[in-house]
Structure 1
């Protein structure tokens, strides 16, 4: 079985999580403590769930964790929307994150579909 670090879907989720981390680091304390922590946790959770599911070596368990990762992606989108509405993100940051998020969503679905074809 291929290492989860080699999966494109994992690499993309890691890239998003790191981008979010470096953005939030520059926020004021109140913004970090409220929106920032939630945003970082949800972004980190995407890749963490892909990794955890991959380690289960059971297709059904893996599928469940990919679905959780998909939920974490939606939660990340939620926090990013609030960050935009609260003027915590620059236009450049949004322009950098949006294509990554748009790319990850179908990749997560494709990964989930590939797991459904596996037995076990």
Structure 2
């Protein structure tokens, strides 16, 4: 069984989640069960699926969970974009998180390819 805490991708994604929680604290209270909840769930899904995949017995299974994490990375990126367009967060915040999102996505794709090439 793999230790998810040893993966740089998981560490970066975990830091992203904490940043998303901080940013979303200032969202309107009317969005608590809307955009606030959605962006938090999407971002939490990234490291959660890495962790869950590490508990799987095959590389193919782990790769499937990484694919889900990639989708959650894309969802988080869009929800940040929407939050900015709605005026809930600044463009500066969006621009500061984009490199982290891109790095997470890149690392997930590389790891997934490596796992699938092992089979």
Distance in 1 of aligned mates of 2:111 and 2:85: 32
Question: How many equivalent pairs are there?
Answer: 119
Deviations 1:44-77 (A, max 9, x none): 0011001101110211110111001111111111
In the TM superposition, what is the alpha-carbon distance from 1:94 to its structure 2 partner? Answer: 1.6
Q: Distance in 1 between matches of 2:92 and 2:81?
A: 15
Mark the runs of 5 or more structure 2 residues left unpaired by the alignment.
none
Compute the displacement of 1:5 (Å).
0.6
1:32-51 matches, cutoff 5 A: 32-51=32-51
CA contact (8 A) 1:21 1:40 kept: yes
Root-mean-square deviation (CA), in Å?
A: 1.4
Equivalent residues of 1:9, 1:111 under 8 A apart? no
Whole-angstrom distance in 1 between the partners of 2:76 and 2:110: 19
Question: 8 Å contact 1:45–1:69 — kept in the other structure?
Answer: yes
Alignment of 1:29-108 (within 5 A): 29-108=29-108
Structure 1: which 5+ runs fail to align? none
Once the two structures are superposed, residues 91-114 of structure 1 have per-residue CA deviations (whole angstroms, 9 ceiling, x without a partner) of 332232111112111111111012
TM, length-normalised to structure 1:
0.91
Over 2 Å off, 4+ runs: none
The Cα of 1:2 is off from its aligned counterpart by: 4.6
